[in-house]
Structure 1
Amino acid sequence: MPLYIAYSDPAALRARCEVAGVRIAREHDAGHEPGAIVPAGRWRPATGADIKAVTAPVSPLDSTLVEIVRPLFGEGTALEDLARPMGDPDAVYLGQAQAKPGMITTTDNHENGRLLGLHLDNWDKLTYGDKHTARRRLCLNLGPGTRYIILGAIDAQHVSRAVHRMDYALRYPHTDDFRVYVADGRPLPVFRIRLAPGEGYVAPTEYLLHDGSSEGEDEPSAAAFWLGHWPRGALPSLV
């Protein structure tokens, strides 16, 4: 299943979305490791056709759905407990990450100190057939700056089938599959969604290529993250 975004107001979603293609990073390319996938060219405003393309079907799988949300704090609620009321008692708080201003993507590869670029998470270590059932990630922008979530429009199962035609069913979809897919010249649209401080997303980051970004922003931002199996609508939607 491709990128699906839950919304009730297409104009509100369109106002915070931009679209671009991707390219493969070269050696010493803006701090990214060679082979990393990065946005290519200028971001353009999302059109009505772009929004239609990411419109979820009537009965989508919640585990594959992207939601743009405003997490709510009860009085005295600790940050690590924010996801507790969302419906998954086993949800996990992952901690925080910092982003300097002007970062095209934000995630480091701890093995080499370079930026990883757009990537798949792999917390649940699922095979091709189960990849769409992974936990979704909740992110909250703690500010002080605005930041973005970048999401690929093509899912991990589609890419795995394209790259591993003979034995995709035995594979564990991986960031490297997307790198081969893009390096082979196949198009992969990406959406950039703006998140002001206090705003966030719930997204299948084990299923869709993604990363944070602070490109074009003058202030740093921090983000807090959780993983869980949550139903659609567990948090108020911004769109």
Structure 2
Amino acid sequence: MPLHIAYGDSSTLRARCEVATVRTARPEDTDYEPGAVVPAGQWRPMTEADIKAVTAPRRPLDSTLVEIVRPPLIEGLPLEDLPRPLGDPDAVYLGQALAKPDMITTTDNYQDGRLLGLHLDNWDKLPYADKHTGRRRLCLNLGPGSRFIILGAIDAQAVCRAVHPDDHTQRYPHTDDYRTYVAGGRPIRITRIHLAPGEGYVAPTEYLLHDGSTEGQDQPSVAAFWLGQWPRGILPSLV
């Protein structure tokens, strides 16, 4: 299933979102891994067609839905326990990540420090047939600066089918599938969503191309992350 965002008011969603396309990192993009998929720039406001494209069906799968939320910070409760009352007692705290100001994308390869670009997570290591059932990631922007989450419009199963037409059912969808897809000249629309300090998202980062960004921001941003199976609407929506 493609990118679907839960919202109640389209003007509120439009106010915090922009859209663009992607490209493959060039040789001069030395901060990135070879073949990395990166935003092509030229971000533009969402149109009515863009809103329609991300509108979820009447009964979406919770596991594939994106929500823009305000996670409840409870005084005295450790961050790792924040999702305890949110419907998944087995939710896992992944820790925190610091992003420097003005980073187009934020996630690096811990082995060599090069940036991954837009990518898929693989905590659940799910095969093609089950990829849409993975846990969603909860993110809370701890500040001090704002940040973005960037999300691709085409899902991992669709990309896997496109690049492995003969044996996709035997595959484990991977970031490399997206890199092959983009290198072959096929476009991907991406949406970036603004998150101020105290705001966050719940998103299927095992299923959709994504990364954080602090592009254009003059302060660093620390984000905290969890993985879990949360029902839609368990957190207060910002849109």
Provide TM-score, normalisation by structure 1: 0.99
**Counterpart residue identity of residue 129, structure 2:** G
Task: Report the Cα distance in structure 2 between the residues aligned to 1:7 and 1:21, rounded to whole angstroms.
Answer: 22
| 1:168 to 2:184 alignment | no
Counterpart in the other structure of 1:58: 58
Counterpart in the other structure of 2:183: 183
Counterpart in the other structure of 1:69: 69
User: Shift of residue 78 of structure 1?
Assistant: 1.3
Task: Report the Cα distance in structure 2 between the residues aligned to 1:100 and 1:74, rounded to whole angstroms.
Answer: 27
Task: Report the Cα distance in structure 2 between the residues aligned to 1:46 and 1:32, rounded to whole angstroms.
Answer: 28
Task: Report the Cα distance in structure 1 between the residues aligned to 2:30 and 2:202, rounded to whole angstroms.
Answer: 28
**Counterpart residue identity of residue 163, structure 1:** V
* 1:167-211 Cα distance to aligned partner (Å, 9 max, x none): 000000000000000000001000000000000000000000000
Q: CA RMSD in A?
A: 0.8
Task: Report the Cα distance in structure 1 between the residues aligned to 2:158 and 2:111, rounded to whole angstroms.
Answer: 28
Task: Report the Cα distance in structure 2 between the residues aligned to 1:134 and 1:83, rounded to whole angstroms.
Answer: 17
User: Shift of residue 73 of structure 1?
Assistant: 1.9
Task: Report the Cα distance in structure 1 between the residues aligned to 2:26 and 2:175, rounded to whole angstroms.
Answer: 17
Task: Report the Cα distance in structure 2 between the residues aligned to 1:90 and 1:41, rounded to whole angstroms.
Answer: 38
The equivalences for 1:121-132 within 5 A come to 121-132=121-132
Task: Report the Cα distance in structure 2 between the residues aligned to 1:127 and 1:53, rounded to whole angstroms.
Answer: 26
Counterpart in the other structure of 1:156: 156
User: Shift of residue 111 of structure 1?
Assistant: 2.2
Task: Report the Cα distance in structure 2 between the residues aligned to 1:69 and 1:102, rounded to whole angstroms.
Answer: 23
Which ranges in structure 1 are unaligned for 5 or more consecutive residues?
none
Counterpart in the other structure of 1:78: 78
Counterpart in the other structure of 1:234: 234
User: Shift of residue 28 of structure 1?
Assistant: 4.2
Q: Is the 8 A contact 1:163 1:180 kept in 2?
A: yes
**Counterpart residue identity of residue 88, structure 1:** D
Q: Which moved more, 1:41-50 or 1:152-161?
A: 41-50
1:223 match: secondary structure? strand
Task: Report the Cα distance in structure 2 between the residues aligned to 1:48 and 1:140, rounded to whole angstroms.
Answer: 28
The equivalences for 1:70-219 within 5 A come to 70-219=70-219
* 1:37-89 Cα distance to aligned partner (Å, 9 max, x none): 00003110111110110000000000000000000122321111111111001
**Counterpart residue identity of residue 216, structure 2:** G
User: Shift of residue 30 of structure 1?
Assistant: 5.6
Task: Report the Cα distance in structure 2 between the residues aligned to 1:106 and 1:30, rounded to whole angstroms.
Answer: 14
**Counterpart residue identity of residue 173, structure 1:** P
User: Shift of residue 27 of structure 1?
Assistant: 2.6
Task: Report the Cα distance in structure 2 between the residues aligned to 1:201 and 1:207, rounded to whole angstroms.
Answer: 15
Q: Is the 8 A contact 1:105 1:213 kept in 2?
A: yes
Aligned length: 239
Task: Report the Cα distance in structure 1 between the residues aligned to 2:120 and 2:73, rounded to whole angstroms.
Answer: 29
Which ranges in structure 2 are unaligned for 5 or more consecutive residues?
none
Counterpart in the other structure of 2:49: 49
| 1:10 to 2:10 alignment | yes
Q: Is the 8 A contact 1:27 1:33 kept in 2?
A: no
Q: Which moved more, 1:209-218 or 1:68-77?
A: 68-77
Task: Report the Cα distance in structure 1 between the residues aligned to 2:47 and 2:218, rounded to whole angstroms.
Answer: 27
Runs ≥4 residues deviating over 4 A: none
Provide TM-score, normalisation by structure 2: 0.99
**Counterpart residue identity of residue 162, structure 1:** A
